[in-house]
Chain A
């Protein structure tokens, strides 16, 4: 039932403990939220799950496999895709190329047949193009396929990042503040979009978010971090009424 589980995950940078003894679980098909004030260690958790950082101690089990010491690209290959807090698109490339590149890991043509454009390779490339166009269509970016990725408005760039992540054929999606910089209308659309993506692609989702409305609206289970420690967990109703959360999170912000 559980697709992702971290066991006593700890990350230290020199003397600073960014994440301490964290155990969380994401059920298969679930949408789970990770919240907490700035600097609570949320993105560090993402970076450990995706292999950017190697945890100081503890481990990460994904799909019954220990992924905690794997290289980032191997983890992606195993089925975890992510977006970034500060959008990291391939800036100078087109919208379509951004998505097509994310298919490269599943391409089983070797270098020589790719450069020689053998019939076998061409067929695969055509398949990738079709799949990428479909993905763009689904996130509503098809009309911009030839535009430079950075020419899109901010909200669309976030959607492109999600489409690009989906192109790697993930089992699980990590969204790092997908609603950042969106207006209330866009945020509401995003909530529907996240659920839709989950159902259509049969995904499990772990997301970091600051917009309480979004988090409470889509997440079935929420973990709250403060100073690298888990201070609460539960469904949205429980979290909203937890005095610790109000003190640590809302109390700080308001």
Chain B
């Protein structure tokens, strides 16, 4: 691999890692509070790309307005999914909640097929983002710079919210101890809604940038990135926002680099993440930045 292609792969890995990281945050925040894998998160992410598409092509909204609308609608969708599919099962066995999550995921996916149609649509990309720039002889599409930068900004805002605001403090309290938080007068339901909303908005930011990089939209695009982002969250230590980001970058980078250096195994691309997942679950189920919690007998 020449130094040029290496930098190209590096920028691709960074971009893909950013996207995984943004989606992974939603999984990890929800798991932190409800100990629940929000299976529908990948689908929520998918919806955001379609909102931008329809915003631009049907309602003729300016591109950036469509994006704001997409972030808001996706956040709202996250809140609705929690109310409809998870809240009624708050005190049920975890398996029931997971089945409901799987149901919700298929429901959204198939509703998308019904409403948007199964034919691929093309994500609207302003010309500016199609530019390729040359850095010391290495040609890199401008989105590869744009994506990590926006991701960084989104992360800083999110971490500020979680660590410095009153709401963030309540979120951390609920994730530490649900019951005590309730007794302290925190409205757990509101906090859960805010968590789903914030996580979904992060996914929407990821969705918009996913569209910029991979503009072919079909209702199934959420599934794989969703699963992989979940894996990223587990790798980093589920429940831990910084862990999700770390896991996302690690996974994105690993995928791109393995394919780049071993072209023979390209067909196995979708298996890497799962192999990594199973390895982590077996050897360090708490993830890279997580803490071990044993069962009380």
Residues of A within 8 A of B (CB): 13, 43, 47, 52, 84
5 example contacts (A-B, Cβ-Cβ < 8 A) are as follows A13-B294, A43-B297, A47-B297, A52-B297, A84-B297
Secondary structure type dominating chain B contacts:
loop
Closest to B292 in A: A14
CB distance from B114 to the nearest CB of A (A): 40
Q: Report the bound CA distance from A169 to B297 in whole Å.
A: 23
Question: Chain B residues with Cβ under 8 A from A13's Cβ?
Answer: 294
- Nearest CB in chain B: distance from A118 CB, A: 35
A47 to B295, CA, bound (A): 12
* Residue ID in chain B nearest A46 by CB atoms: B297
Tell me how far the C-beta of A204 lies from the nearest C-beta in chain B, rounded to whole angstroms.
Answer: 22
Q: Which residue of B lies closest to A52 (CB)?
A: B297
A145 CB → nearest B CB, Å = 28
Chain B residues with Cβ below 8 Å from A47 are 297
For the complex, give the distance between the alpha carbons of A43 and B296 in Å: 11
- Identity of the chain A residue whose Cβ is nearest the Cβ of B295 in the assembled complex: A52
Residues of A within 8 A of B294 (CB): 13
Using CB atoms, name the residue of chain B closest to A84.
B297
Q: Report the separation of the CA atoms of residues A52 and B297 in the bound assembly, to the nearest whole angstrom.
A: 8
Nearest A-chain residue to B291, judged by Cβ: A14
Report B-chain residues with C-beta under 8 Å of the C-beta of A52.
297
Complex CA–CA separation, A43 to B294 (angstroms)? 15
**CA of A43 to CA of B297 in the docked complex: distance in angstroms?**
9
| Chain A residues with CB below 8 A from B297, complex form | 43, 47, 52, 84
Distance between Cα atoms of A52 and B294 in the complex (Å)? 11
Q: Which residues of B contact A43 (CB under 8 A)?
A: 297
Complex-state Cα separation, A242 to B148, whole angstroms: 69
Determine the chain B residues whose CB is within 8 A of the CB of A84 once the complex forms: 297
Chain A nearest CB from B212 CB (Å) reads 45
- Minimum CB–CB distance from A146 to chain B (whole Å) comes to 26
A13 to B297 Cα, complex, angstroms: 14
The 5 closest A-B pairs by CB, nearest first: A52-B297, A47-B297, A43-B297, A84-B297, A13-B294
| Complex-state Cα separation, A225 to B120, whole angstroms | 70
Interface residues of B in 110-148 (CB under 8 A from A): none
Indicate with 1 or 0, residue by residue over B267-297, a CB within 8 angstroms of chain A CB atoms.
0000000000000000000000000001001
